Amino acid sequence: MNVDLYDFELPEELIAQTPLAERSASRLLTLNKASGAIQHHIFPEILEYLQPGDTLVLNDTRVIPARLFGMKQNTGAKAEVLLLKNLGHDRWEALVKPGKKLKTGAVITFGDELTATIESEGDMGERVLSFSYEGIFHEILDRLGQMPLPPYIKEKLDDRERYQTVYSKHEGSAAAPTAGLHFTQELLEQVRSKGADIAFVTLHVGLGTFRPMSVERVEDHVMHEEYYILTEETAQLLNETKARGGRVIAVGTTSARTLETVAGQCGEGPVRAMSGWTGIFIYPGYTFKLVDALLTNFHLPKSTLVMLVSAFTGREHILNAYREAVEQKYRFFSFGDAMFIY
């Protein structure tokens, strides 16, 4: 399957550079995955599509200020580090700039508080860094680091919390699970008032979010592994939801990937609590095992995320919905509008 099948025209002015003043002020395009029927709403009208007995599954990961700016020791050349994965014992997997000049053995300093030594280089451009410092690492990171906004966002984000979901809890992501940015606490209470439940999974977003597809055939792409957790409480709620005939609604592709990873591990049996690393790549031809409906933002052309939503409802339905979104001037990507596929 050729990657170019998932290309489409996207005017640059539709790429959302800043969040809207109100979280729930976004627009919502709904797409019936069977018929392809499209309707337009404001985001709070998502409530009209929820039914008693449904369960929304939210990714409660929390973004860390993972972008660091420093200097290469000895030369004073500028260096940038994006932390992706905590390997333990003050070692991190990271992306670095300029990659050609930051090789194994290079030392990067970040003021007087923090020093990193590059231990090794990976196949996908990543590095393993070992940090040395005095004090508590996360406090230093909070002072020195910046929020790792995607590269297509040029505007500086004044309020860090605007790149966090209101329910973020477990620190570890290099990017936000952006479908959840539309929710306020008030709207979540209204979801519960509708008779729907809310469950949480954790998936710490890593390199896969920043790595574009560089292959011609979809099947040749390899996803980078990310760490996930599904608790006993969530497993029980998911099993109860299925037993009563309710829908499991994934809020975001990260929640969907976590749920489908767990479903693949459980086979025909009930959902079980588990944690680990997932590199699941969902593209057309995949049969969803647990997710019944999906809330997501609008994604990059030829991205793994476009392929996931295409697997859920079909390539033609998705590309038609994206053409409609472009015509109606929906905002795209992290700070953009939302789509509900049901």
- DSSP letter for each residue of 133-202: ESS-HHHHHHHH-B----TT--S--S-GGGGS-TT--EEEESS--GGGGG--HHHHHHHHHTT-EEEEEE
Q: Are residues 172 and 256 in the same domain?
A: yes
106 Cβ neighbours under 8 A, 6+ residues apart? 72, 73, 117, 118
Give the pLDDT score at 76. 94
Average pLDDT, the chain: 94
pLDDT of 154 over the 90 cut: no
> Which of 144, 170, 190 represents a domain boundary (last residue)?
144
Instruction: Look at residue 153 and tell me if it is in a domain.
Output: no
Rounded CA-CA distance 86/290 in Å is 29
Alpha carbons within 13 A on the beta-carbon side of 110:
24
Within-domain flag for 151: no
The CATH number assigned to the domain holding 104 equals: 2.40.10.240
Q: How confident is the model at residue 339 (pLDDT cuts 50, 70, 90)?
A: very high
Question: What is the Cα–Cα distance from 20 to 16, expressed in whole angstroms?
Answer: 9
Distances (CA, A) of 248 to 195, 285, 328: 14, 20, 29
Report d(CA 163, CA 22) in Å as an integer.
13
User: Are 103 and 177 members of one domain?
Assistant: no
Same domain flag for 310 and 164: yes
Q: Does residue 118 sit in the same domain as residue 188?
A: no
Angle among Cα 208, 213, 215 to the nearest 5 degrees reads 135
DSSP string spanning 118-152? EEEE-TTS-EEEEEEESS-HHHHHHHH-B----TT
Query: Is 209 a residue whose pLDDT tops 70?
Result: no
Domain that holds residue 47: 3-63+159-341
Q: What is the pLDDT of residue 150?
A: 81
Rg (C-alpha) for the chain, rounded Å, is 20
pLDDT per residue over 213-245, tens digit each? 788 999 989 888 899 999 999 999 999 999 999
In this predicted structure, what is the pLDDT of residue 207? Answer: 65
Q: Tell me: do 191 and 137 sit in the same domain.
A: no
What is the band of 281 on the pLDDT scale with cuts at 50, 70, 90?
Answer: very high
pLDDT at 341 over 80: yes
The answer to the question of residue 154 being in a domain is no
| Residue 211: pLDDT over 80 | no
How far is CA 284 from each of CA 33, 145, 184, 253, 319, rounded to the nearest angstrom?
A: 13, 38, 33, 15, 13
Domain presence at residue 152: no
Residue 191 has pLDDT above 80, yes or no: yes
Same domain, 264 and 308: yes
Entry pTM: 0.92
Of 98, 119, 144, which closes a domain? 144
> 226 forms bridges with which residues in the sheet?
278
Q: Domain count for the chain, please give it.
A: 2
In 3D, which of 312, 339, 297, 292 has the Cα closest to residue 55? Answer: 292
Residue 54 pLDDT > 90, yes or no?
Answer: yes
Q: Does one domain contain both 310 and 230?
A: yes
Q: Give just the sign of the alpha carbon dihedral 149, 153, 158, 162.
A: negative
- 229 shares a domain with 166: yes
Residues 262 and 240 in one domain: yes
CATH number of the domain residue 297 falls in: 3.40.1780.10
Here the tokens at position 184 are 């306020």
Q: Cα–Cα distance between 57 and 331 in angstroms, integer?
A: 24
Among residues 116, 144, 172, the one where a domain terminates is 144
- Is 235 contained in some domain? yes
* Any domain includes 149: no
Dist. CA 141–CA 213, nearest whole Å: 30
The string of pLDDT tens digits covering residues 235-272 is: 999 999 999 999 999 999 999 999 999 999 999 999 99
Q: Are residues 300 and 215 in the same domain?
A: yes
- 73 part of a folded domain: yes
Question: Same structural domain for residues 78 and 178?
Answer: no
The 10s digit of each residue's pLDDT in 2-18 is: 999 999 999 999 999 99
Q: Are residues 183 and 78 in the same domain?
A: no
Q: What pLDDT is attached to residue 141?
A: 95
| pLDDT at residue 80, as a whole number | 96
- 95-138: pLDDT as tens digits: 999 988 999 999 999 999 999 999 999 877 889 999 999 999 99
Write the pLDDT tens digit of every residue in 295-322: 999 999 999 999 999 999 999 999 999 9
Cα–Cα distance, 290 to 215 (Å, whole number) = 29
**Domain annotation covers residue 265:** yes
